[in-house]
Amino acid sequence: MRIGVPRALFYYMYYPFWKTFFEALGHEVILSSPTNKKILKDGLEFAVDDACLPVKVFHGHIVDLIEKVDVLFIPRIISIEPGEFICPKFLGLPDMVKSSIPDLPPIIDSNLSVYKNRKGLIEHAKSIGTDLGHSSKLILKAYKIASTKFNSYKKFQISHEKLPLDSGQKSFFDSNSSYFSRHKNKCLGENTLNVLLLGHPYNIYDNYISMNLITKLQKNGIKVITPEIIPVKNISAGAKNLKKRLFWTLGKNIIGSTYYYMDCGKALDGIIHLASFGCGPDSIVGELLERKLSRNRLVPFLRINIDEHSGEEGFNTRLEAFIDVIEGRRRN
């Protein structure tokens, strides 16, 4: 059976796991094309007007897959860390898509919640495998293969500080080298400029949405640090410095990374926050970041809000000005 996975939202977090899992069950995984003008246009046409840009783009990826697959994979994600939640838009995603796009193939929309404990992940896998008609024995075997592969992928990503950039038509898991950024992420050193890039993975790693932000920084000789290459224990240590606990996992990762770098004396030349216009969690996280940074006043901070109307020229101008500032500070 051909299972369609949209190259958007959760793809940037869990694709290696799900691809391995579905293939171990004997299915073919079909990925939508990298985000492009047509995908954005279709997303704008079908998604509700007040959705954020990543959700609109997600709808475009569904349209891209409709004719190519037997079933669509749109999990209903509630929680990806015990005691925390993810943005409610992820929870409503299967319903949003069903009510907005006609003539869809069947949808696998099992719940994923590890709010109580991590057993939620295996329950999620069991529910998907059962819906696809597999035995418990095969589902468990596929789950173990996928977990092992995913854990080693995450370890490799952190230990080698590899940024997960999408690289065109190939899926990133066909070979590790096609998935990770082709531009060298410079090593932390005296002469390297280090920039902490904050944002949701589906914004910063989608080249179309982010207007190639990572590549642009790396071409300027900047080492880009994102929450995905910071060890989880460091993010947790940073997040503990907040007076009140943040219950959104993605927001916690952003805040925890910032606090960790600011409070542990790590060499940083600048911080960029790429946020989605109209995103509730981003507006609160952005406010917390600005408060923290205005207290320290040590690191230049650039906040860029993106939506479907964002133009690349204005984006580039702001980025160039920011790079001039951090280079000037380093020279002086």
Residues lying near ligand SF4 in the complex (CB under 6 A) are found at 52, 54-55, 87, 89, 200, 276, 279-282
Closest to ligand SF4 by CB, 16 or 251: 251
- Smallest distance, ligand SF4 to C-beta of residue 76, A: 13
- Smallest distance, ligand SF4 to C-beta of residue 281, A: 4
- Smallest distance, ligand SF4 to C-beta of residue 120, A: 20
- Smallest distance, ligand SF4 to C-beta of residue 248, A: 7
Closest to ligand SF4 by CB, 166 or 282: 282
Which residues, including other chains, have CB under 8 Å from residue 248's CB and lie 6 or more apart?
A: 84, 85, 86, 87, 281, 285
Specify whether the CB–CB gap between 36 and 45 falls below 8 A.
no
- Smallest distance, ligand SF4 to C-beta of residue 89, A: 4
* CA nearest to 252, candidates 298, 285, 216: 285
Closest to ligand SF4 by CB, 4 or 201: 201
* CA nearest to 134, candidates 17, 28, 27, 25: 25
Closest to ligand SF4 by CB, 87 or 235: 87
Specify whether the CB–CB gap between 287 and 257 falls below 8 A.
no
- Smallest distance, ligand SF4 to C-beta of residue 13, A: 12
**Angle (CA) 26 146 61, round 5°:** 75
**Angle (CA) 253 121 242, round 5°:** 20
Closest to ligand SF4 by CB, 19 or 89: 89
* CA nearest to 132, candidates 14, 15, 24, 30: 24
Specify whether the CB–CB gap between 252 and 80 falls below 8 A.
no
- Smallest distance, ligand SF4 to C-beta of residue 1, A: 28
Which residues, including other chains, have CB under 8 Å from residue 61's CB and lie 6 or more apart?
A: 6, 7, 8, 32, 35, 39, 43
Rounded Cα distance between 305 and 314, Å, is 12
| 26 backbone φψ class: left, alpha, beta (φ>0; ψ -120 to 50) | left
